Amino acid sequence: MPHQIEQFTFWQISAFTTEQIQVLTENQIQALTNEQISWFTKVQIQAFTKEQIQTFTKEQIERFTEEQKEVFWPKQVIAKINTMDSQNQSTTTEFKPNLPKM
């Protein structure tokens, strides 16, 4: 449940294993607070899957610390693409991993 995620403490977040991180759902990831996001270690950041990375909101992505970004961005190479829909004046954000073609 997303509301349970919001109640996790620093110690609970810092104890997340790779396996626990990789089973977080979209709703759970989006329920993480800005403070909780800053608690993830470098090793934990690397555990997020490509699909999970794509579920972070733009606001959450902006809250990653510089230290986290140094690990996260080079490994996953995320490009943020902001487009403005001129008809309804809404902003959309799309995250696309820049992965090697097979």
Give residue 91's pLDDT. Answer: 44
Residue 9 has pLDDT above 80, yes or no: yes
Q: Is residue 70 part of a domain?
A: yes
pTM: 0.66
Of residues 86, 41, 87, the one with CA closest to residue 64: 41
Number of continuous H segments (helices) and E segments (strands) in the chain: 9, 2
Average pLDDT over residues 42-63: 88
Residue 102 has pLDDT above 70, yes or no: no
Query: Which residue range(s) make up the domain with 14?
Result: 2-97
**Domain assignment present for 25:** yes
Which residue has tokens 């110690």? Answer: 11
Tell me the β-bridge partners of 78.
97
Judge whether 34 lies within some domain. yes
Q: Which H or E element spans position 16?
A: none
* Domain total in the chain: 1
Q: Are strands 78-85 and 90-97 parallel, antiparallel or unpaired?
A: antiparallel
pLDDT band of 36, cuts 50, 70, 90: very high
- Give domain status of residue 102, yes or no: no
How sure is the predictor about 87, in pLDDT bands with cuts at 50, 70 and 90? very low
CB-based burial of residue 29 (10 Å sphere; 0-12 exposed, 13-18 middle, 19+ buried)?
A: buried
